[in-house]
Structure 1
Amino acid sequence: MIARNRPLSRLATRLARLFHGESGAGLLLIAVAVAAMVAANSPLAHGYHALFHDALPWSPVARLNTLHLWINDALMALFFFVVGLEIKREVLDGELSSPARRRLPVLAAGAGMVAPALVFLAVTRGDPALQPGWAIPAATDIAFALGVLALLGPRVPASLRLFLLTVAIVDDLGAVAIIALAYTRGIDGQWLGAAAAVLAVLAICNRAGVRSGWAYALLGAGLWYAVLQSGVHATVAGVLAALCVPLQLDQRGDSPLLRMEHALAPLSAYLIVPLFGFANAGVALAGIGPQGLISALPLGVALGLVLGKQAGIFGAVWLAARTGWAERPTGATWRQVWGLALLCGIGFTMSLFIGQLAFPDAPELVEQAKLGVLAGSVLSALAGYVVLRGARR
């Protein structure tokens, strides 16, 4: 009986390892993306779209009158708050805390954002209506990429996984800057002034040594509301509020930032991001033939993710190593670096999010952008997996 159950025990152990921590969040996101596609291309399609896009009978915030808006403008602000906490921790006391550690991830992330944007603009040249989508392929979905790495187990050296994490942190910071600068329309000066005042109070609390998490949470909610009303995308408020939360440890080894990150990271990874993915990844494929797949917008997004990301990141690491400016990750072969660069082409969460911002008044273009994001992300995931699996250790 014990021998008969041994394969089942090994399978259970393997599944438990796969779904543990950040890797588990990535695998959950993969499952959610598949579920969204199934729902959008089945008899459930009408109910699926109605659930997220039909007007709510009542909403405490008039601007957020659908479940889709609550997810994208409210819950995603909390996601960006967690991202901001992680960025601050890494910059002050982590893998980005010294110039030597920052050098290669910053270079790779920067090149990995510029190259996909250039590929997109090259494919869509001549069509001004598509130009706002230039930033869609510039982002990397760290949860999705970690999910693929989890499938490879010990084949990937720890240094490469750490490099992926640090590149993704810099990438997230760049995406936030892009959202704030490139996708802000119709500024309301009074609400922007109110947001600046709340942000100043948050900064004063930090300087005064206020350590109550609730104080930062309540002020952060006020900042979110003011930014939402100002015309700047509300998710920017999440990062700004996070940067005001103190990291310093007290005599008991307690830190408001670490405490809030520990409490909110699982909520973000296992609820907010999967819910966002399910609400935004559903693309109806009916009537989309080969011509639809190779039209300028989805093709530009897909090629930006698949070709631009790997060219930018791999090229940056190779150039840095060749010039002696920085060394490639310890113990990693060039094939493994290439495989990791391919995995960075998984754009999913942030790319879908930027696609919504790029074409707010053109739902048909949003759907085309989604198609490009899904195609490019799947191709990048498969190619990265194959390259890394075949690499020698």
Structure 2
Amino acid sequence: MNLTKYFKKFFSSNQASGIILIFCVAVSLLIANSSAAESFQAFLDKETGTDIFHLQYPVSIWINDGLMAVFFLLVGLEIKREMIEGELSSFKNASLPIFAAMGGMLVPAIIYASLNYGTTYSNGWGIPMATDIAFSLAIISLLGNKIPNSIKIFLAALAIVDDLGAILVIAIFYTDQIHWIYLLLSLGVTALLFLLNFLKVTKIIFYLIPGLFLWYFLHHSGIHATIAGVLLAFSIPTNVSDVEISPLEKLEHSLHFPVSFLIMPIFALANTNITFTNEMISGVTSTLGIGIILGLVAGKLLGINLFSLLAIKFKLSSLPHNSSWKQMIGVGLLAGIGFTMSIFIALLSFKNEIEIQNEAKFAILIASFIAAISGYLVLNLGSHRKFTEADEN
């Protein structure tokens, strides 16, 4: 009986999903560097699905484009709720993550490009622009109530804007071909979803079914399909009432457990299977490795905080509620966890150049590890109190 109570408490805590995610990262790295590496990679590369409607993809694609769209749906729901009735409901608060994300994309790209201009690595300038939203939120969740909710919301909003920016960069600079018919169909479905909201349709099923079509059309358009989750989230109706539970809040509540304890761990297992080689280590000291590490760690920190400072100085934005610049520095470091999106851009940047891809992967892993540890330590050491519900109001 005590064990059951313990596990109920464990799975309801903010830290639980972060602990499980980090455990899955360790397991995945162990598998990738063991005798089971080839079998595990073969499983991820195995095509599954149906040829009908061209829905047959490797397992890894179903995870990264399919399951992660659900993750983006949940985060999008949380961001929308905060925009309607919470921390992001004022323009000054809502604008800060946008300015911060802009700095967090531009400065890392400039650092990388300046180090690799005219070299064979020059095409990888987009690699340090990305923030891995799943891993960064997992690390900050380990701090529990030592961090105000406003900082967690700021990081989530920043990471979403950052990922949308990365998706846009991929679509413009790294996509061989945009299928315009599918893109137009995606816009049509998006318009339908917001029309349903305007007509005050409240049954969630009437949003989820078009949402599936939106994912399908976006995926076939050549644009990263996870953006479908964000678009769907922003179309779900909500309200500012504490009495009536809105469709958004119902869906948000139902998604929390499967996303935290199923989708994110699967995502970590599938995307951390990096097999270490000698070539990877030598690549860290090249301009490729230095550009990635400096871009993700120093570039993100500098860009996010510089642009945030400018936005606040010009009175366009304000610091998140109950937060400090020490915590903003910690967030800037956590945003340097590029990981899966950075690896994805690295694969697109250096197609058919396996050795450079492996060097980039290792540099991304090192940078993400440095960003995660340093960000956690700065936030943990810089927070000397625990925030209660009364503090958040």
Same fold (TM over 0.5): yes
Corresponding residue to 2:215 among 203, 206, 224: 224
Shift of 1:30: 1.8
Find the partner of 2:196 among 191, 205, 210: 205
1:368 aligns with 2:362: no
Greater displacement, 300-309 / 42-51: 300-309
Asked whether the 8 Å contact 1:18–1:151 carries over to 2, the reply is no
Segments ≥4 residues shifted beyond 6 Å: 15-19, 249-252
Task: Tell me the CA shift for residue 258 of structure 1.
Answer: 1.9
Q: CA 1:178–1:261 in 2, change beyond 3 Å: closer, same or farther?
A: farther
1:174 is aligned to: 165
**1-side partners of 2:152 and 2:75: how far apart?**
18
Matched, 1:93 2:90: no
Separation (CA, whole Å) in 2 of partners of 1:246 and 1:335: 36
2:109 to 105, 117, 124: 117
Q: What does the per-residue CA deviation read over 1:85-110, in whole Å, with 9 as the maximum and x for residues that have no partner?
A: 23333333332222122243332222
Structure 1's 221 and 98: CA in aligned 2 closer, same or farther, altered over 3 A? same
103-112 vs 158-167, greater mean Cα deviation: 158-167
Partner Cα distance (1:392, 1:223) in 2: 42
TM-superposed deviation, 1:16: 8.4
Within-5 A mapping of 1:239-250:
239-248=230-239
Stretch deviating more after TM superposition (43-52 or 59-68) = 59-68
**Aligned with 2:96 (options 97, 104, 125):** 104
| 1:146-179 deviation per Cα after TM superposition (whole angstroms, max 9, x unaligned) | 4444555665566544543443344344344445
How large is the RMSD of aligned CA atoms in angstroms? 3.4
Match of 2:300 in 1: 309
Structure 1 Cα separation of the partners of residues 144 and 14 of structure 2: 13
For 1:362 and 1:63, the matched residues in 2 are separated by 28
In the alignment, structure 2 segments of 5+ residues that lack a partner are: 385-393
Paired residue for 2:41?
49
For 2:9 and 2:348, the matched residues in 1 are separated by 36
Give, in angstroms, the shift of residue 308 of structure 1: 0.4
Does the C-alpha gap of structure 1 residues 224 and 165 become closer, same or farther in structure 2, counting only changes over 3 Å?
A: closer
Confirm or deny: 8 A CA contact 1:96 1:166 kept in the other structure.
Answer: no
Q: 1: distance between equivalents of 2:254 and 2:179?
A: 34
Using a 3 Å threshold, how does the CA distance of structure 1 residues 100 and 123 change in structure 2: closer, same or farther?
same
Q: 1:351 to 1:255 in 2, by over 3 A?
A: farther
Q: Counterparts of 1:217 and 1:109 in 2: how far apart (Å)?
A: 29
1:284 aligns with 2:291: no
Cα separation, partners in 2 of 1:88 and 1:177, compared to 1, 3 Å: farther
Q: 1:191 deviation in Å?
A: 2.8
Alignment-mate amino acid for residue 264 of structure 2? V
The CA deviation at 1:52 is: 0.4
* Aligned equivalent of 2:389: none
* Aligned counterparts of 1:204 and 1:329: Cα–Cα separation in 2: 32
CA distance 1:342–1:93, shift in 2 (3 Å): same
Give percent identity, aligned residues only: 38
User: 2:146, 2:78 → 1: CA distance?
Assistant: 27
1:123: how far off? Answer: 2.6
